[in-house]
Structure 1
């Protein structure tokens, strides 16, 4: 099948290359999903780790604030000497790294106690902090609990940015008695964020629930304190306690995968994000390598298929040429006897089925042996080529077959042609050969001539194709005996005779006797 249709090799190779490409694309898609999944897992793990660290430290600081409130409520604590009172109110954890001072404000916003000093009267803070958010919020909301303030800088420097954690001090009657406040340097979050591996374009942010930025990586002091309310990412942050999504940062316009979570009971939102470029950078490198190899493999497969197809085409052409040579006479270019007999067999069966007439001409070059003896074999070959050309020029209808039957003898098969048509074609060939004016002094006509015998099978006149050939040969024999250079048609003595011995000799000297046609057969009366 493949050898008969070389293009099928190319088609199969294209299908194979397409299948390989499809498999490679599927694998690359799976690898891409795996890269995203691993990155998502890493981001969620980092966010969980940071959340726990922040939550633990805030809890410790909150416990310190609660301890101050509890100390203030203990009888006699306020009457203790300043140094002892400091030890009772402020534990050692307050002095930890990144934690600022803890101070107590009265109901008017004045500093009563400060963890950084043990002596008064000189207050370590401004006398009035009543306008600060960490004071006003507790004054106006009795049950707020722990409050985390907006970032601020006591010294006005970007290096000293802090947030305040505060709790309300209530009097025994439930009235407002002041606030205990502790400060936390934002450098704590800065160092914590820098310790996480998020790739070159990764980001991490901690913000208040109202959208105020407390810390962001990559760090830029200008982003601290800005409010993200109304941005697309913030709108997603407040919809659920935690989750993940693809989004574009409002600050730097980088597309990232975001994992976010609200930190325990605190009014804080943490987001950790990896840029899509960083997520797929390794995948792109592998995809480029695999894609290049697959493309090279597909191109190689198709190229080899094309080369193989070309080889098959050349082989097919060579085989066709060999078949043609096996069926063609090398000298005249006509069919050889083997091919002619195949045609006779096929057309005989077709004529028997259809009932159409089938005519056969046998043509013999007159006195050809003498021509060879006089002029040589080379001239004899040229004479045969000329005769073959005359035959081919007068046998042009599709389905007609001309062949070199053997030596100087030729044969012509005329499907769907009656006796009159066969006689006409034979006469045209005879006249064409004579018109060549090929000198032949050994001939009575002094030029090269041919004798033609014709026979026509119609209805059940001949039982076999061999009988038809024998009839044409008998007519040829009569043409040779009648003086050569003529056409004689086989005429049986009675209908249905197979190779009858009685023959009407209708030769080229009697064209009127050859004018009969049979149009009712559907064949050609005149070729």
Structure 2
């Protein structure tokens, strides 16, 4: 009987071993499948986040564009209703619109129509009598509705230029409240298409600007009449104002991941989409490789397991399972991109993951026992120390902090750490766990975006937006401190002729050189040199009187002469500039405002041009004009 038991017992060991081995392989496959599925969902979630960020940014851009157009429309409506019936009112409006054409930027054109649809004034160089817009939908809407709010219409083909444009319009009334006509601003559909093509959403991705009803106003493709003004989806959710959605277009084999963002101030939304297949393409390739390797390794483990079971039975089987688990853990730990750190109660490092070698350049063994804050930038240490103290006192269980860390090569990187307190079963604190991620690129991108918002891309000077902000700031400071505020407006003489003669690349180089001269001459840290628009520049001079403005203006003229940029179409033979200056004391001149300072400097600039150019004229100065004109005085 003992012999029989001896024969039967060993014969069952391979079956048990095969069952255990099959169970282990199934668990590994299940875990790997779950891990890959999690990775797949992370890819899709990341795409949703990226599309959401893009949609929000583009929505803000469109809101800013529409707000700029709306402010121009309000100004024209005010001018029409204020001067309604006065002699020469339309001629003055036309002159104003012509003068504003060079500064419209992203706005295509401004138009004013009468009650019968005839063109009254426009920024376009056309014969007004040749056109009538009474047949447009927006004109019919304003004529039949007393609503005076802004109307965003469907894309239409411009009668004067032939291009497809988005229309923004307002109604204006006669003094008796009757319909006087329509004021219209247009934005090229192609402008949004070109702008959206700057963002990488993949070959099949789309960015669409739509009305709240879901009609396409513009997208990142070439303007196509068959798409413009038509719905891209059957329904776009309005509540909530933003969110994700999935849909499939006719003829496509893959669902689309989409994020929509409704505007807060205007009735439109931005829809950004990518195909699911495109988002998951790289993941699918990598997952296929990983599963192939995994299956190969599992096949090898099975073969070795069978061999070890036959040779070493249970002992070798347990060793093989342990080795497989350790290998799997090592691959997961080494593949992690974040640093996982265990911080003991004495704030020394008890464990750090292998990714510290890639992120910080230190081997994990070199950091064990070191203080957790030892590699943190000295200026950021109090912030991190305060976080640890708060976690220690139980004020919070988890905190997130961004700070700088020193790498082994002495360079610095920005990291974001999530620190969490860990406790024993009895609730006592036993340490901290920190998950640290390198965010240096994100910080650099954030800084670059902040710079682009206030900097002119061609000259490197402050842009018009930054100038307007500083003008309000310095005006308020001068008002409070009872000091003077100076302004110089500089315009390059005969710049259009320069462009026509030497080409636009040379014109850009000329603008860059003039900008360098202005920046060199305005030496005080409080002075602001800005590109005001086109070939016109502005220098804001806090705490500067008229004599100081004249001295700086003359230095600029001499510096431009010294630069000696050849300009054959300019009487001087080189590039010169006309300069108009104005000074105001906001604390004493209570009726004045920032706009009055710009207006005075502009008048001085125009008089400098009329007086022969290449000269400096201050507001309030009596200037001798050429013999065909009488002397003129610019109002101060």
Counterpart among 194, 198, 208 of residue 195 in structure 1: 198
Partner Cα separation in structure 2 for residue 252 and residue 144 of structure 1? 43
Following superposition, the deviation at residue 270 of structure 1 comes to 1.6
* Counterparts of residues 92-491 of structure 1 (less than 5 Å): 92=100, 95-116=103-124, 122-123=127-128, 125-126=130-131, 128-154=132-158, 160-219=163-222, 221-228=224-231, 233-238=233-238, 240-250=240-250, 254-309=254-309
Contact 1:95-1:101 at 8 Å conserved across structures? no
Contact 1:98-1:186 at 8 Å conserved across structures? no
Partner Cα separation in structure 2 for residue 243 and residue 221 of structure 1? 27
Partner Cα separation in structure 1 for residue 247 and residue 301 of structure 2? 42
- In the comparison of the two structures, how many residue pairs are matched? 305
Three-state SS of the structure 2 residue aligned to 1:245 is strand
Partner Cα separation in structure 1 for residue 10 and residue 57 of structure 2? 64
Counterpart among 73, 77, 91 of residue 81 in structure 2: 73
TM-score by length of 2: 0.44
> For 1:267-292, what per-residue CA distance to the aligned partner results, in whole angstroms no more than 9, with x for missing partners?
22220011101211221122112211
Partner Cα separation in structure 1 for residue 160 and residue 227 of structure 2? 13
Partner Cα separation in structure 2 for residue 254 and residue 222 of structure 1? 26
Three-state SS of the structure 1 residue aligned to 2:133 is coil
Partner Cα separation in structure 1 for residue 252 and residue 86 of structure 2? 52
Partner Cα separation in structure 2 for residue 105 and residue 133 of structure 1? 14
Q: Against the structure 1 CA distance between its residues 208 and 107, is the aligned structure 2 distance closer, same or farther, given a 3 Å change threshold?
A: same
Partner Cα separation in structure 2 for residue 252 and residue 94 of structure 1? 44
Three-state SS of the structure 2 residue aligned to 1:30 is helix
Corresponding position of 1:14:
22
Contact 1:105-1:111 at 8 Å conserved across structures? yes
Q: Against the structure 1 CA distance between its residues 251 and 49, is the aligned structure 2 distance closer, same or farther, given a 3 Å change threshold?
A: farther
Three-state SS of the structure 2 residue aligned to 1:302 is helix
Corresponding position of 2:603:
none
User: Which has more radius of gyration?
Assistant: 1
TM-score by length of 1: 0.53
Partner Cα separation in structure 1 for residue 272 and residue 281 of structure 2? 19
Which shifted more, 159-168 or 214-223?
Answer: 214-223
Partner Cα separation in structure 1 for residue 225 and residue 181 of structure 2? 33
Following superposition, the deviation at residue 223 of structure 1 comes to 3.6
Partner Cα separation in structure 1 for residue 177 and residue 223 of structure 2? 43
> For 1:91-142, what per-residue CA distance to the aligned partner results, in whole angstroms no more than 9, with x for missing partners?
6267534533212111111112222359xxx52551x321211101111221
Contact 1:44-1:259 at 8 Å conserved across structures? yes
| Structure 1 spans left out of the alignment, 5+ residues | 314-527
Partner Cα separation in structure 2 for residue 83 and residue 143 of structure 1? 27
Which shifted more, 39-48 or 244-253?
Answer: 244-253
Partner Cα separation in structure 1 for residue 122 and residue 238 of structure 2? 37
